[in-house]
C-alpha cells in the first residue's frame, strides 16, 4: 500500500525539485550572464563624481523610498516592504529551509523560532494580498500589469500559504499540504527565470548602473 | 556548555510554564461535575470523566483543586503501578489517577460515584483471596503439627 | 533616404546595452514611477506612467536581446514593432515627458527610465516621429548657428551692448585665454544681460575668457529630439571651435540640456575625450566664491525662491552651488517644497516647450509649479537655466501671477562688490 | 480443544489482580479516546474472548513485532492478553510444531469459520513462492487460505501493513502488503517497526468489544494514527523556538534540542510514540536521542534517507545543480554573444541621419 500524499511529497522533493533546480539555476545564470556579456560602451565624459562607489552605494540606498513616496503609494510601498521582509524571514530564517540551503550549498546560519516565522508568514501573505488588490484596483498598476504579473504574485504567495497550512495542520492531510508546499516552490523556481521574479537578482545591477550613471555626473541617485 | 545548559533550563521552565497555562477547560468540567452529582443523588447514576480526553493542563488542575479541595478518603492502590484514589472536598466526587510502574501518569479520571469501582475488591480477587487464605491456614496447621 | 519604421527599430536596436537590459529585467510594474511624473501628477492619467513610454525599447530588448525572447519570437510569439506602434507612442515620448529624471530617482529597482526615454527618442526620430517643431529647430540649427536660426548678427550686437553697458572689453576668438563662454540662444535673444554680468564678474575675478564667433551657441536640439547623428553634428561645432582656440575650459551656460549635451553626452557622441574641460557657469561662480574672487555687497530684500533646472541639478549634480551663491545676495531665501534634487520640472523641458501639440499638457503640468509657488509666495524666482527662466516667465504671466524671474548669474553681478 | 476464556486463568496464574486489569482497561479506554464508561465493557470483552479467536501468521518478518509484545521479563498485561487469545497458532510462540501446528491452524479455521481474526506480521513475496514458505505452503497461499474464513485481518507491523523493509528498493522478493492481496475482508493496519504493544492490545480490545475501529485512508486506527509524533514530541518547544541539534554529539543534542536537522521524520509520521512510549512507557526513539525514522508510514525505507532533514531535496540535486551552473553560464555567454552580434549588425546598418532626413517622405497622394 502506498501513501499517495507521501509519493507526491517525494516527487516534489525528488525529481521535480531536480528539474526545478536545473531551470532555476541555469535560467537565472543565462539571464544574468547575457546582460553582463552585452556590456556597455566606455563613457568618455570626464567624471565629476565617483561612478563605481556611487553605483555600489545605490544598490543599498535605493532600498529606502524617497520622502513623501509612502504617502502617495502606501499600499505598494508598505505592502512591498512587508511582503519582502516577511517573505525573506520565512524563507531564510526557518530552520527546515536553512537545512535545505545547507544541503544545496553547504552554507548554514541560525534560525529563529516559530512565532517569528509564522507571524512573518501571515503578515507577508496579507501584504501580498494587498499588493494583489492594488494591482487590480489602481488604474496605474492595472494598466501596467499583465496576466503573468498576477500569476507571479499568486505563485509567490502559494509557498507561504501552503507552508503555513502544512506546519499548522490547518486543514487537509499535513503530508499532502507539505507536498503542495514543496510543489508550489518547485513551480515558483521553474517560472522564476522567465518572469519579473528575475528582479530579485537584476535589481542590484539596475541600481548599480543607475548609481554609476548619476555618480559620474556627481548627481544624487 | 554553561550557556547551553542555562538555555536548556530556561527552556524547560518555559516549556513547563506554557504547558501549565490554563486552557479554560476547568469551568465546563466543574459544571459537568455538578450535573453528574445531580444524577448521582437523584438516580444513583455514577459518571466518569476522562481528563485525558480533553486538553487539561496543570493550570486547569489547579483551578479544579481550588474548587473541589480535599476530602476524607485518600487511598493508594498498588496494582501494576500506583493509583491515587482520593475523595475531593465535595463528597461523591473522586479523583482517580493511574500511574504505570515507572510512576508516569497513564490516565486521570474524575468519578462521580459513592465509591469508585476500582477500590472495591473484585469478586475474582476475593475468590483468589479465599484460596490463598485457606492455603496459608492449612500450611500453618501443618507447621504447628 | 527617409524615415521608416524599420530605421526606427534599427535605431532602438543600437541603443540596447547592459544597463537597459538590467532595467527591463528588473521592472516589476510597481507603478511608483507614475507619481514621480509631473504629467501623471496633474492629469492622473495612467497612460503617462513613465515606464510605459519606453515600451518599444522593451520589446526590442525582449525579442532580440534575450535568449528566451528569441525562442519566443521563433515560436511566433514575439511582439514586433510596426509603424502604428511608433505613431501611438509619439505623444507619450515627446509630449508627456520633459526628461526631468524624477522617475529615475524613485524607481525602487533603480531603473534609469529617463535615460531609456532618451534612447526611445532615438528610435522615434529615426522612424520619423519627432515633433515637427523640433525637426524645424534642428534644420535651422544645422543651416545656421542656433535653433532660432542665424544669430551671428545678434550676438555681435549683444556683445557690443554689453561692452557699452559695463565698459569692459569682450573680445571674440581670443586665443590663449582660459575660458570659452558659450551661450544659449534663449540668452542671446531674450536675456542678453547675462553677457555683461559675466564680463563684470570675470573682470573682478581675473578670469580670462572669450566668445567664439563660430560656435557661440550651446543648445543641442539633437539631444532633445533624440538623434545622436544630429546631436553629434551640433556638438562637434563647439568642440572644434574650443580646441581651435586652445582654451582650458568651456563654460556651459545657464541652460539645462546644453549642459547635458556639452558635458555628458558630447564626448560619447564624438567618441573621444575632449581636449578641454566643461564647467557650468554656476560651478565656476561657486569656485570663484570659494577662492575669494567673487565678493558681493548688499542683499536683495525680496522674498526669493530658487527653481532647480532638472538637467543641471537632478541630472547634472549641481545642487549646493547655486544655494551658496544665492545666500550671498538674498536676504530672504525660501525653498519651495521638493526643492533640490527632487524639484519639479518647469513644465516644458526636454522639447515639450517647442511642441505646440503639447500645449495643454504643459499648462496642466505647470499647475503643480503654480501651487508650489503660491505656497511660498515669493517676490522673485531665481533659476540657472534660460529655458526654465523663459518657461516660468510665460507660464506665470498666463496664470496671472505677478512674480519676477531672474537668472542667477545676473543676480550675482548685480550685487558684485565694487571696491577693489 | 477448549474454547473457554483463558485470560482470567492466566491472570490468576501470574498473580495479576483483576483490579490491575481494570486499571489497565481504564487507561486503554482513555488512550483510545473512548468514553470512560466503556472500560468495563472492554474488560469484559477481553476476559470472555473465546479462544482460539485469533490465528497469527508470520511471513517475511524479523519477529520484532512478536518480540515487542513479549519483550518484558515480568509478564505484562499485553502479553497475557495476546497469549490468552492467540496462542493457538503462532509459529514462534506455540508449543506445537510441524504437522501438529498446521493441524491446529486448520482445525481453528474449520471450527470458527467466518468468526476468527487473522493477525499477520511480515510481508508476502510475490516473485517466487519459495522465498518464504511455512510447512511447504507459500506465504501467498497460506494468507489466501486463512483469510478466506476470517472475520477480519489485522496487519501488525509495517511489513504486513505496507510491505516494509522487504519491499524497500529494489524489493528483491517482490514483497507486498496484506492489503495488496486480500481485497474482500476488513483489514486493520497497525504499522510500526515494531508497533507499540499497547496499541496492538488496544486495537484487539476494540475489535473484540466494538468491532472494526475507525480507520484512516491508510487503514490505520484513527485513535492512534491521527496525530504526528512531531505534534506531541517533548522536543517540540525547541523546534518552535528554532533550537536544533546540528550533530548527534553537539551541545544542542545534549541539551535535548530538536533533531529535525539530523533527519527526524516526526513531522510526517503519525503515531502515538511520543505519548504512549515504549518499554513500559520508559522512552521512545527521540527521547533516546535519535530522530524518528518514520516507521509507521509506507515506504519509510525509501523516503529520502534517515539522516537527511525532511526539507532537504531527495533526488539528484547535486549533479543537477552542477549541470545547471555550467549550462547556465554557457548558454548565457551564448545568448550574450548573439545579443552583441545583433547590436553590431544594427550599428553596421545604421544610416547616418541629419536634420533634413528626420521626416518621412511625403506619402504620394
Residue A164's φ and ψ, nearest 5 degrees, are -65, -45
- Cα–Cα distances in Å, from C349 out to C194, C309, C318, C344? 21, 9, 17, 11
Residue written as grid cell 490505520: D220
- Measured between CA atoms, the residue of chain D closest to residue A111 is D242
Q: What is the predicted pLDDT for the residue at B2?
A: 42
User: In CATH, which of 1.10.940.10, 1.10.10.10, 1.10.1060.10, 3.30.960.10 is domain C5-129?
Assistant: 1.10.1060.10
Q: Which cell is D221 given?
A: 486506527
Same fold, C134-288 and C295-414: yes
Angle among Cα C306, C309, C312 to the nearest 5 degrees reads 120
Task: Show the domain range for B86.
Answer: 2-114
In a domain, D196, yes or no: yes
Q: Are residues D148 and D290 in the same domain?
A: no
Question: Is residue B8 assigned to a domain?
Answer: yes
The answer to whether residue B137 is domain-embedded is: no
Which class for B17: exposed (0-12), middle (13-18), buried (19 or more C-beta within 10 A)? exposed
**Interchain contact D353–C (C-beta under 8 A):** yes
Contact C138 D335 (CB under 8 A): no
In contact, A176 and D297? CB cutoff 8 Å: no
Alpha-carbon distance of C102 to C311, in angstroms, equals: 11
Q: How many CB pairs under 8 A join B and D?
A: 86
How far apart are alpha carbons C295 and B118 in whole angstroms?
109
Beta bridge partner(s), residue D245: none
What does the block give as the cell for C95? 509630449
For residue D13, give the CATH number of its domain.
3.40.50.700
- Residues B11-33: pLDDT tens digits? 566 656 666 777 788 899 999 99
> Which pLDDT score, from 0 to 100, does residue B3 have?
47
Judging contacts by C-beta atoms under 8 Å, the chain D residues touching residue C141 are 355
Q: How many residues does chain D have?
A: 365
The distance in angstroms from the start CA to the end CA of chain B is 70
Domain of residue D238, residue span: 229-302
What is d(CA B142, CA C90) in angstroms, rounded to the nearest whole number? Answer: 126
Task: Give the residue from chain A lying closest to C72, CA to CA.
Answer: A194
Task: Give CA–CA dist C92/C97, Å, rounded.
Answer: 7
Q: Neighbours of C (≥3 Cβ pairs closer than 8 A)? A: A, D
| Percent of chain C whose predicted confidence (pLDDT) is above 90 | 94
Which residue is it, cell 529615475? C104
Mean pLDDT of C352-366: 94
My answer on whether D102 and D131 are in the same domain is: yes
Cβ contacts from C onto D, under 8 A: 74
pLDDT at B7: 55
**Domain finish residue from D179, D194, D223:** D223
Judge contact between D169 and D134, C-beta under 8 A. no
What does the DSSP assignment read for D239-300?
Answer: HHHT-B-SSTTSHHHHTT-B-GGGT--GGG-B-SHHHH-BTTTTB-TTTTT-----TTSTTG
Predicted confidence (pLDDT) per residue in C27-61, tens digit: 999 999 999 999 999 999 999 999 999 999 999 99
Give the count of beta carbons closer than 10 Å to the beta carbon of residue A60: 11
For chain C, positions 166-225, list CB contacts with chain D under 8 A.
225
For residue A170, the 8-state DSSP code is -
Which of D287, D302, D317 is at the close of a domain? D302
Q: What is the C-alpha separation between D204 and A124, in angstroms, rounded?
A: 49
Q: Confidence class of residue D66 from pLDDT cuts 50, 70 and 90?
A: confident
Residue of D177, D179, D328 with shortest CB distance to A25: D328
The per-residue pLDDT of chain D, averaged, comes to: 87
Give the number of domains in chain D.
Answer: 2
Total Cβ atoms within 10 A of residue C47: 16
> Measured between CB atoms, does C4 come within 8 Å of chain D?
yes
Question: Could you tell me the residue range of the domain that residue A22 belongs to?
Answer: 1-40+173-221
**What number of helices (H) and strands (E) belong to chain C?**
22, 8
CATH of the domain at B33: 3.30.1370.140
**Residues of chain D neighbouring A93 (CB-CB closer than 8 A):** 242
How many alpha carbons lie under 13 Å from residue C380 in its C-beta half-sphere? 17
Q: What is the mean pLDDT of residues B39-65?
A: 89
Q: By three-state DSSP, how is residue D60 classified?
A: strand
Residues of C in contact with A46 (CB under 8 A): 267, 273-274, 277-278
Cell digits of residue D15: 498473580
Contact at CB, D343 and C141, closer than 8 angstroms: no
Q: pLDDT tens across C285-315, in order?
A: 999 999 999 999 999 999 999 999 999 999 9
Grid coordinates representing D346 are: 544594427
Q: Do A and D share at least 3 CB pairs under 8 Å?
A: yes
Domain assignment of residue B9, yes or no: yes
Q: Are residues A27 and A80 in the same domain?
A: no
pLDDT (tens digit, 9 = 90+) per residue, C375-409?
A: 999 999 999 999 999 999 999 999 999 999 999 99
Instruction: Classify C142 in phi/psi space as left (phi over 0), alpha (psi -120 to 50) or beta.
Output: alpha
Q: What is the pLDDT of residue B16?
A: 66
Task: Using DSSP bridges, classify how beta strands C209-211 and C179-181 pair: parallel, antiparallel or unpaired.
Answer: parallel
pLDDT at residue C185, rounded to an integer: 93
The CATH class of the C134-288 domain is: alpha beta
The pLDDT value recorded for residue C255 is: 94
Residue numbers in D near A41 (CB within 8 A): none
Residue A199 is assigned to a structural domain of this protein: yes
Q: What angle do CA B30, B31, B37 make, to 5 degrees?
A: 90
- Does the pLDDT value for residue D251 go beyond 60? yes
Q: Is residue A155 part of a domain?
A: no
pLDDT at C228: 94
How high is the ipTM of this complex?
Answer: 0.83
Q: D82 pLDDT band (50/70/90 cuts)?
A: confident
For residue B49, tell me if it sits in a domain: yes
Distance CA C9, CA C61 (A): 11
Task: Tell which of A145, A164, A188 closes a domain.
Answer: A145
Q: Do both D72 and D185 map to the same domain?
A: yes
What is the number of domains present in chain A? Answer: 2
**CA C73 – CA D112 distance, rounded (Å):** 76
- Confidence band for D314, pLDDT divided at 50, 70 and 90: confident
The answer to the question of residue A215 being in a domain is: yes
CB contact under 8 Å between D237 and B101, yes or no, is: no
The candidate with the shortest Cα–Cα distance to B58, out of B23, B92, B88, B20, is: B20
Q: Domains in chain B: how many in total?
A: 1
Closest CA to A177 of D274, C386, D267: D267
User: Would you place residue B56 in the very low, low, confident or very high pLDDT band (cuts 50, 70, 90)?
Assistant: confident
CB C270 within 8 A of CB C232: yes
CA distance C220 to C146: 9
Across the range D215-221, mean pLDDT stands at 92
Q: How many CB atoms lie within 10 A of CB C14?
A: 23
User: How do strand B70-78 and strand B82-88 relate by DSSP bridges?
Assistant: antiparallel
- Whether D332 is covered by a domain: the verdict is no
DSSP A11-64: HHHTHHHHHHHHHHHHHHHHHHHHHHHH--PPP-SPPSS-HHHHHHHHHHHTTS
Per-residue pLDDT at D37: 84
Nearest CA to CA, how far is C49 from chain A (Å)?
7
Name the one residue in this structure whose C-alpha cell is 574650443. Answer: C242
Report how far Cα D204 is from the mean position of its chain's Cα atoms: 18
- Lookup: cell for D218: 491508510
The verdict on D144 and D13 lying in the same domain is yes
Report yes or no: B91 and B71 within 8 Å, Cβ to Cβ: yes
Residue C2 has pLDDT above 80, yes or no: no
> Residues C271-286: what's their mean pLDDT?
96
Looking at the domain assignment, is residue A35 inside a domain? yes
C-alpha distances (whole Å) from B91 to each of B63, B94, B113, C307 are 18, 8, 9, 91
The set of residues, in sequence order, having a beta carbon less than 8 Å from that of D29 and lying 6+ positions away, is B50, D35, D36, D38, D39, D42
Predicted confidence band of residue B36 (pLDDT cuts 50, 70, 90): very high
Q: Do D347 and C14 touch (CB under 8 A)?
A: yes
Residue D348 lies in a domain: no
Q: Is residue B124 part of a domain?
A: no
| Percent above pLDDT 90 for chain D | 45
* Residue A151 sits at the chain D interface (C-beta within 8 Å): no
User: D123 to each of A21, C388, D93, D129, D157, how far by Cα in Å?
Assistant: 37, 89, 19, 12, 9
- Do the chains D and B touch each other, judged by at least 3 C-beta pairs below 8 angstroms? yes
| Mean pLDDT score, D214-235 | 91
* Same-domain status, D254 and D148: no
pLDDT band at C230 (very low <50, low <70, confident <90, very high): very high
Q: What is the pLDDT of residue D44?
A: 87
CATH of domain C295-414: 3.40.50
**Which residues in chain C touch residue D347, judged by CB atoms under 8 angstroms apart?**
14
Distance of CA C271 to the CA centre of its chain: 21
Q: In which band, very low, low, confident or very high, does the pLDDT at D104 lie, cut at 50, 70 and 90?
A: confident
**Mean pLDDT of all residues in chain C?**
94
Task: Please give the Cα distance from C16 to C391 (Å, whole number).
Answer: 33
Strand partners, C306: C382
Gap between the Cα atoms of A159 and A28, Å rounded: 20
Residue A177 counted as domain residue? yes
- Which is more confidently placed, D187 or D302? D187
Q: Where are the domains of chain C?
A: 5-129, 134-288, 295-414
> B23 near B61, Cβ under 8 Å?
no
Asked which of D194, D223, D252 is the last residue of a domain, the reply is D223
**pLDDT above 70 for D75:** no
Cβ of C68 and A193 within 8 Å?
yes
- Below-50 pLDDT ranges, chain A: none
Place of cell 544545496: A104
What is the mean predicted confidence (pLDDT) over D113-142?
Answer: 91
Q: Are residues D195 and D271 in the same domain?
A: no
Q: How confident is the model at residue B23, as a pLDDT?
A: 79
Q: Angle at the Cα of C268 (from C266 to C274), degrees rounded to 5?
A: 60
Q: How do C380-383 and C300-307 pair as beta strands?
A: parallel
Amino acid at each position: 500500500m502506498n501513501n499517495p500524499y507521501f509519493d507526491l511529497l517525494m516527487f516534489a522533493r525528488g525529481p521535480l525539485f531536480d528539474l526545478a533546480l536545473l531551470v532555476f539555476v541555469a535560467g537565472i545564470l543565462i539571464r544574468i550572464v547575457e546582460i553582463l556579456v552585452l556590456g556597455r560602451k566606455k563613457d568618455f565624459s570626464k567624471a565629476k563624481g565617483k561612478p563605481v562607489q556611487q553605483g555600489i552605494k545605490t544598490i543599498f540606498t535605493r532600498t529606502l523610498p524617497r520622502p513623501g513616496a509612502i504617502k502617495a503609494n502606501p499600499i505598494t510601498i508598505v505592502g512591498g516592504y512587508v511582503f519582502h521582509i516577511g517573505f525573506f524571514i520565512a524563507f531564510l530564517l526557518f530552520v527546515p529551509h536553512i537545512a535545505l540551503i545547507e544541503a544545496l550549498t553547504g552554507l548554514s546560519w541560525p534560525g529563529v523560532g516559530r512565532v517569528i516565522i509564522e507571524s512573518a508568514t501571515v503578515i507577508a501573505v496579507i501584504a501580498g494580498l494587498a499588493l494583489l488588490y492594488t494591482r487590480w484596483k489602481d488604474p496605474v498598476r492595472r494598466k501596467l500589469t499583465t496576466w503573468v504579473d498576477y500569476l507571479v504574485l499568486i505563485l509567490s504567495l502559494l509557498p507561504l500559504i501552503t507552508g503555513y497550512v502544512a506546519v499548522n495542520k490547518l486543514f487537509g492531510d499535513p503530508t499532502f499540504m507539505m507536498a503542495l508546499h514543496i510543489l508550489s516552490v518547485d513551480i515558483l523556481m521553474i517560472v522564476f527565470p522567465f518572469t519579473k521574479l528575475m528582479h530579485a537578482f537584476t535589481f542590484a545591477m539596475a541600481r548599480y548602473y543607475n548609481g554609476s550613471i548619476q555618480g559620474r555626473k556627481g548627481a544624487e541617485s | 556548555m554553561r550557556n547551553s545548559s542555562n538555555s536548556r533550563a530556561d527552556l524547560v521552565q518555559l516549556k513547563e510554564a506554557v504547558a501549565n497555562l490554563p486552557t479554560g477547560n476547568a469551568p465546563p468540567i466543574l459544571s459537568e461535575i455538578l450535573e453528574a452529582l445531580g444524577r448521582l443523588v437523584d438516580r444513583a447514576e455514577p459518571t466518569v470523566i476522562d481528563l485525558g480526553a480533553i486538553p487539561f493542563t496543570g493550570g486547569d488542575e489547579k483551578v479544579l483543586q481550588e474548587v473541589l479541595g480535599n476530602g476524607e478518603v485518600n487511598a493508594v492502590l498498588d496494582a501494576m503501578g500506583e493509583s491515587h484514589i482520593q475523595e475531593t472536598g465535595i463528597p461523591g466526587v473522586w479523583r482517580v489517577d493511574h500511574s504505570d510502574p515507572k510512576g508516569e501518569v497513564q490516565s486521570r479520571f474524575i468519578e462521580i460515584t459513592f465509591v469508585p469501582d476500582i477500590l472495591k475488591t473484585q469478586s475474582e480477587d476475593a475468590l483468589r483471596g479465599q484460596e490463598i487464605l485457606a492455603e496459608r491456614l492449612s500450611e500453618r496447621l501443618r507447621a504447628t503439627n | 533616404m527617409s524615415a521608416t519604421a524599420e530605421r526606427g527599430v534599427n535605431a532602438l536596436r543600437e541603443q540596447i546595452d547592459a544597463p537597459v537590459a538590467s532595467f527591463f529585467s528588473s521592472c516589476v510594474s510597481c507603478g511608483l514611477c507614475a507619481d514621480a511624473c509631473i504629467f501623471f501628477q496633474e492629469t492622473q492619467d495612467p497612460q503617462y506612467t513613465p515606464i510605459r513610454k519606453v515600451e518599444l525599447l522593451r520589446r526590442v530588448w525582449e525579442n532580440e536581446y534575450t535568449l528566451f525572447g528569441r525562442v519566443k519570437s521563433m515560436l511566433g510569439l514575439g511582439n514586433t514593432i510596426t509603424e502604428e506602434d511608433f505613431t501611438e507612442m509619439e505623444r507619450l515620448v515627446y509630449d508627456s515627458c520633459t526628461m526631468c529624471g524624477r522617475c529615475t530617482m524613485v524607481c525602487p529597482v533603480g531603473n534609469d527610465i529617463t535615460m531609456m526615454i532618451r534612447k526611445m527618442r532615438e528610435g522615434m526620430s529615426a522612424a520619423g516621429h519627432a515633433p515637427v517643431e523640433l525637426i524645424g529647430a534642428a534644420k535651422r540649427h544645422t543651416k545656421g548657428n542656433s535653433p532660432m536660426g542665424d544669430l551671428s548678427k545678434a550676438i555681435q550686437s549683444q556683445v557690443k551692448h554689453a561692452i557699452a553697458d559695463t565698459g569692459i572689453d569682450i573680445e571674440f576668438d581670443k586665443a590663449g585665454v582660459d575660458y570659452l563662454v558659450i551661450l544659449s540662444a534663449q540668452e542671446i535673444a531674450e536675456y542678453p544681460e547675462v553677457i555683461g554680468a559675466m564680463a563684470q564678474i570675470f573682470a573682478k575675478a581675473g578670469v580670462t575668457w572669450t566668445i567664439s564667433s563660430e560656435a557661440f551657441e550651446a543648445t543641442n536640439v539633437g539631444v532633445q529630439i533624440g538623434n545622436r547623428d544630429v546631436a553629434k553634428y551640433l556638438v562637434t561645432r563647439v568642440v572644434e571651435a574650443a580646441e581651435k582656440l586652445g582654451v582650458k575650459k568651456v563654460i556651459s551656460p545657464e541652460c539645462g540640456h546644453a549642459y547635458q549635451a556639452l558635458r555628458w553626452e558630447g564626448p560619447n557622441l564624438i567618441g573621444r575625450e575632449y581636449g578641454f574641460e566643461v564647467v557650468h557657469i554656476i560651478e565656476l561662480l561657486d569656485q570663484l566664491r570659494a577662492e575669494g574672487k567673487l565678493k558681493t555687497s548688499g542683499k536683495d530684500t525680496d522674498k526669493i525662491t530658487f527653481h532647480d533646472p532638472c538637467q543641471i541639478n537632478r541630472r547634472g549634480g549641481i545642487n549646493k552651488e547655486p544655494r551658496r551663491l544665492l545666500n550671498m545676495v538674498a536676504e530672504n531665501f525660501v525653498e519651495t517644497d521638493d526643492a533640490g534634487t527632487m524639484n519639479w520640472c518647469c513644465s516644458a523641458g526636454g522639447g515639450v516647450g517647442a511642441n505646440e501639440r503639447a500645449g495643454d499638457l504643459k499648462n496642466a503640468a505647470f499647475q503643480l509649479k503654480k501651487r508650489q509657488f503660491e505656497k511660498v509666495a515669493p517676490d522673485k524666482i531665481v533659476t540657472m537655466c534660460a529655458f526654465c527662466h523663459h518657461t516660468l516667465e510665460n507660464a506665470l504671466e498666463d496664470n496671472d501671477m505677478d512674480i519676477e524671474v531672474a537668472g542667477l548669474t545676473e543676480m550675482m553681478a548685480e550685487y558684485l562688490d565694487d571696491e577693489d | 480443544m477448549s474454547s473457554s476464556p483463558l485470560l482470567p486463568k492466566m491472570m490468576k496464574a501470574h498473580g495479576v489482580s483483576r483490579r490491575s486489569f481494570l486499571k489497565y482497561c481504564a487507561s486503554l479506554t482513555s488512550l483510545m479516546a473512548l468514553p470512560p464508561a466503556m472500560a468495563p465493557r472492554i474488560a469484559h470483552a477481553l476476559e470472555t474472548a473465546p479462544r482460539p479467536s485469533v490465528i497469527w501468521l508470520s511471513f517475511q518478518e524479523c519477529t520484532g513485532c512478536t518480540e515487542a509484545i513479549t519483550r518484558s521479563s515480568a509478564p505484562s498485561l499485553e502479553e497475557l492478553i495476546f497469549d490468552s487469545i492467540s496462542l493457538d497458532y503462532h509459529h514462534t510462540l506455540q508449543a506445537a510444531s510441524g504437522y501438529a501446528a498446521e493441524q491446529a491452524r486448520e482445525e481453528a479455521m474449520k471450527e470458527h469459520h467466518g468468526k476468527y481474526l487473522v493477525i499477520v506480521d511480515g510481508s508476502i513475496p510475490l516473485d517466487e513462492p519459495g522465498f518464504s514458505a511455512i510447512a511447504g505452503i507459500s506465504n501467498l497461499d497460506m494468507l489466501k487460505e486463512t483469510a478466506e474464513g476470517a472475520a477480519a485481518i489485522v496487519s501488525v507491523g509495517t511489513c504486513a501493513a505496507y510491505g516494509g523493509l522487504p519491499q524497500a528498493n529494489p524489493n528483491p522478493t517482490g514483497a507486498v502488503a496484506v492489503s495488496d492481496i486480500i481485497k474482500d475482508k476488513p483489514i486493520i493496519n497497525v504499522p510500526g517497526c515494531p508497533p507499540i504493544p499497547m496499541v496492538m492490545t488496544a486495537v484487539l480490545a476494540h475489535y473484540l468489544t466494538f468491532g472494526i475501529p475507525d480507520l484512516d485512508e491508510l487503514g490505520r486506527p484513527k485513535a492512534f494514527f491521527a496525530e504526528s509524533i512531531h505534534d506531541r514530541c517533548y522536543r517540540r518547544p525547541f523546534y518552535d523556538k528554532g533550537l536544533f541539534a546540528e550533530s548527534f554529539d553537539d551541545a544542542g543534542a545534549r541539551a535535548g534540542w530538536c533533531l529535525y536537522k539530523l533527519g527526524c521524520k516526526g513531522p510526517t509520521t503519525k503515531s502515538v510514540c511520543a505519548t504512549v512510549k515504549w518499554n513500559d512507557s520508559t522512552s521512545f526513539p527521540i527521547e533516546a536521542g535519535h530522530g524518528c525514522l518514520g516507521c509507521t508510514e509506507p515506504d519509510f525505507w525509501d523516503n529520502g534517507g534517515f539522516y537527511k532533514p525532511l526539507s532537504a531535496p531527495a533526488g539528484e540535486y547535486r549533479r543537477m545543480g552542477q549541470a545547471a551552473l555550467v549550462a547556465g553560464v554557457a548558454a548565457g555567454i551564448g545568448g550574450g554573444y548573439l545579443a552583441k552580434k545583433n547590436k553590431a549588425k544594427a550599428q553596421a546598418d545604421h544610416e547616418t541621419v541629419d536634420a533634413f532626413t528626420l521626416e518621412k517622405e511625403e506619402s504620394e497622394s
